Amino acid sequence: MTRGIWMRRLSRQENLIYLAVWGLLFASPLLSLYVRMASDANIRFNWTEVFIAWRQFLPFLLLFLVHNFFLAPLFVYGRRRMAYGSVVLVLVAAFTLYQCSDRPQRGPHRPPMEQTEHLGPPREFRHKPKHRPHGDGMFKPADAPPPIIGEHDVLAVVILILMFGANVGIKGYFRSRDDQKRLSELEKQNLEQQLEYLRYQINPHFFMNTLNNIHALVDIDPEQAKNTILELSKMMRFVLYEGNKQYVHLYYELDFIRHYVALMQLRYTDKVRISLDLPLVPDRKVPPLILITFIENAFKHGISYQNESFIEIAVAVEGENLQFSCRNSKADTSIEDKGGVGLANVRRRLDLLYGHNYSLKIQDEADVYSVELTLPLKS
């Protein structure tokens, strides 16, 4: 999924949330009126009451649209916090002035004139003082003007600020989801590139050793060298058509190892003891060329032409795991010194493919070098 498609999907999800919230808000006066009509048969449907409620919601909706499409992206995507804060402060101040100017005057209720005439005191006592005693005898105006900002106005401003905050929070959440998705895609691409790089490092290393073996056979047994070239062509076919895949069938991987060991055995005398134990495998998959590096190192650094040497290779399938072991005698210096690049590459491949879900144990003793690898099989 490209970033553009992902962003459009996020935008649709975000807009659906806003549409649902505002739809419920504007439907609430209708729902409230229907509930009251159901509980009291004397109440009739009155559009005026609904329009009055909608008129109170309308300024919030307009400010939300301005904030959602212009101001919130400035903060969440543009990182322009100062500009965002300044504009929001201006909007909140303008909204506060609008609330105060639009607020109905809540003066004291004055009865009609005829009621005043009927209920009032005698005419000679109807002259009221402009001030009445209050508290400790002090006088204050009889009809004090309403406060500049009432409780209703403060509540409306608080709701506006909370609405802006919720809008920024939702946009930040979807921005975080987008960033995580893109990071995951980048990590996946990086993983594939690293695996491709490591495979290209392993393949030339393998063919270099194999061609050196054929070169040695040309002088010793030319006919056998021809047969070995045919074996090599089969192995090259595997590398070309299967080596670039992330996973291959275990049968083909073990068949490749079988050809390689048979080719290597042609070079050595009876002083070199080579054992290969490959099982009948189920229909499972492994990364291609993941085991050959250990076997290459065993042949390269574990064979001595003066002393008796041995290489023992065994593969077993236990449940859903592959058990691989390779033991060899040590000809001179440790394998880590001479074959460190190949082993580092295969370790890196295992880390990238399996994370912590595999086990690799290498024991470098005085006369024996052994490798034990356990990794999960893919179905």
pLDDT, tens digit, 9 for 90 and up, residues 85-135:
899 999 999 999 888 886 655 444 444 444 444 444 554 444 545 555 544
pLDDT value, residue 334:
44
- Sequence-distant (6+) residues with CB within 8 A of 20 are none
SS3 sequence of the chain = CCHHHHHHHHHHHHHHHHHHHHHHHHHHHHHHHHHHHHHCCCCCCCHHHHHHHHHHHHHHHHHHHHHHHHHHHHHHCCCCHHHHHHHHHHHHHHHHHHHHHHCCCCCCCCCCHHHHHHHCCCHHHCCCCCEEEECCCEEEECCCCCCCCCHHHHHHHHHHHHHHHHHHHHHHHHHHHHHHHHHHHHHHHHHHHHHHHHHHHHHHHHHHHHHHHHHHHHHHCHHHHHHHHHHHHHHHHHHHHHCCCCCEEHHHHHHHHHHHHHHHHCCCCCCEEEEEECCCCCCCEECCCCCHHHHHHHHHHCCCCCCCEEEEEEEEEECCEEEEEEEEECCCCCHHHHCHHHHHHHHHHHHHHHCCCCEEEEEECCCEEEEEEEEECEC
pLDDT of residue 117: 43
pLDDT value of residue 340: 52
How large a percentage of the chain has pLDDT more than 70?
76
pTM: 0.49
What's residue 200's pLDDT?
54
- Predicted local distance difference test score (pLDDT) of residue 312: 95
Which residues of the chain carry a pLDDT beneath 70? 1-10, 102-148, 186, 188-206, 209, 332-342
Q: Say what the pLDDT of residue 100 is.
A: 83
277: Cβ contacts below 8 Å, ≥ 6 apart: 313, 314, 315, 316
- At residue 143, the pLDDT reads 55
pLDDT of residue 288: 84
Residue 312's contacts (CB-CB under 8 Å, 6 or more residues apart) are: 275, 325, 326, 327, 328
Domain(s) of CATH 3.30.565.10: residues in the chain: 221-376
Identify whether the C-beta of residue 278 lies closer than 8 Å to the C-beta of residue 253.
Answer: no
- The CATH superfamily holding the domain 221-376 is Histidine kinase-like ATPase, C-terminal domain (3.30.565.10)
Give the pLDDT confidence of 25-62 residue by residue, as tens digits.
999 999 998 888 888 888 888 899 899 999 999 999 99
pLDDT of amino acid 193:
56
Residue 338: the pLDDT is 47
